[in-house]
Structure 1
């Protein structure tokens, strides 16, 4: 466990922090139908070049960006395409959005046919050179955080779209109306607040259980926080029984299981809806999420004011102290076989420097000299959490996960609903042990 470096601390003191979703597994997907939109707009140009080694004339042709932000199709991405073309009049960008980003992208890169720019899926870093072009010539390496997260043998193959930390996003009015005068700092206080919310007629916690992807913190960020160990997920590769009731994985999932048993989740967890839940948090029908700071702007845009949305660290025990995950979100990668390589790289650089996506998405900027715009991070930091800075997945752990076909969010679902959660852990441990043996041969 380690504190964030001085530069991170400086950013915190300025009113923000630096992070990302190891989820990158950190999924900022939206539960909408798969969509694609092509946008082309002619405009006058600026004269800047797209990358350190690319001439203006090289930035031409049409590229496609594969994204998980289905909600931005026909909206913000139209503006992005227009602005990118204003800078590079000989270039155009199209956007294709999918809901199951990781799975879809893996299938497409394995086929050898995938778009010019993608968000890099969960593949071993040693495989990155097989699919992606190095981005070291963009002149960003010394200006960004997490540059080693998607790197191999000294070359950078992915640049994070931004960062986030995970905590409780809550409706302040719902808390006040329920008689909650201060945010919970211990697990017992968290359950007590949930009981007050339930008694006031508010659904305490939005799990979006059916949508599955929203459950990622319970099997990744929260266990790492409980353990105070950024390498927890990687260390699974050293054992045949990574999941036990009394280790950080079991402890984290037991909290949401308890919430379910006490009636603190949605009344019908099998008919939840992600887009509607944002409106319900905004209105106060639901009171809380456990998600990254990236969701805060989406809640505000769904019908409330920034002053009504708060953010605090998830209390997972009764010590009054908390660790929180600090990790990059999805990373932009460029198809090494793109017909318009210079244009694809220029688009990545433009997304990082000029698009404003990090502010729109509620991310902590990946650029070291840019301050985050999410005001709620000030409240979050006032609780003095200890940040656990994410590390890259090792080849060993990634190989076992892929061989065992472990979907951590599915594990959470099964654990919560099982009559005997130990049997679920036994099942996943068995799959893990077989996969571990297979990849070690």
Structure 2
């Protein structure tokens, strides 16, 4: 969430940033924030004056009583009662104004970093680099949704029987390969200095608000009505919320956590060939890395996270590219996002497998996540990234490594899964 003092002191910068995100009525909403903030400040000033007069009058009553001026003291008591009545009204007004200000602020996305390109959609994203050669497949190569039937390793029909569309059942070598990927990703993160967390996979409303999923993404999350809990869309949410309402000691920084969880997304309105098979699911597995850094270190950390994800893709022998997302394609809370995409030779298109993002102070302001330095309390920067999401990685491994003898397993995974071929 943006901070009001920043908006007040950087009005034109805020408007320009929102326009780069193609946010509608950027000027109008900034003016609305400033108007409400002025009401808040005026009301606070008036309340402070009334409280000061009330305190002074209370002291005056004591002096009058001591000097025997009971009639004057009674008059002062009446005036004090009137001031208390006025102050109560002003306190109620102030709470209402503050809530109104909060309701507007939560509808405003984060401002983009200066390096974010202009644009409205994925077509306007900037390709930063491309790595690896696209494999040449045999003429009879098949997409993964055919391969999984051929080798009987993932069953979508059983998933529909048990739950519904988008909930696959992993079987035999498919299940073992899935588990191998999870353990590989976790081990690589631990080797890179991350601390493993196994968080809950359901969250309360406060946690959803803290990282920006609420009130922005209710429609994409599964909701447990009786307990008022949400199934997590990513491990970022519970892991980052470990530090909600926390003042971190400077010697605890940087914080680097990694966690594996199943993830749940309704993906309402997602239809068509581009979401076939493993390309988009309602339940999927993901290993997530989260960092909490000092503001001056966060963009160095973002580069570090990007390189970590790229190292995983290299070890999996997958061709990939890195995209810098444009203003119109970034997530609501992000200041800068890099997407990693792998090339699916059978589908002949790029598939997104990871996003790494710097949220700067946007989440930290909601979370009240701070640290003390030189006697001052400051907001920290939060970052997160997929390292990695499994479905499209698995799809690309199956498609890019298909041979007449079967599907070749990348060498780095063989010790984890115990076989080198699916046949």
- Greater relative contact order (Cα 8 A, min sep 6): structure 1 or 2? 1
TM value normalised by structure 1 = 0.22
TM value normalised by structure 2 = 0.23
More strand by share: 2
Bigger Cα Rg: 2
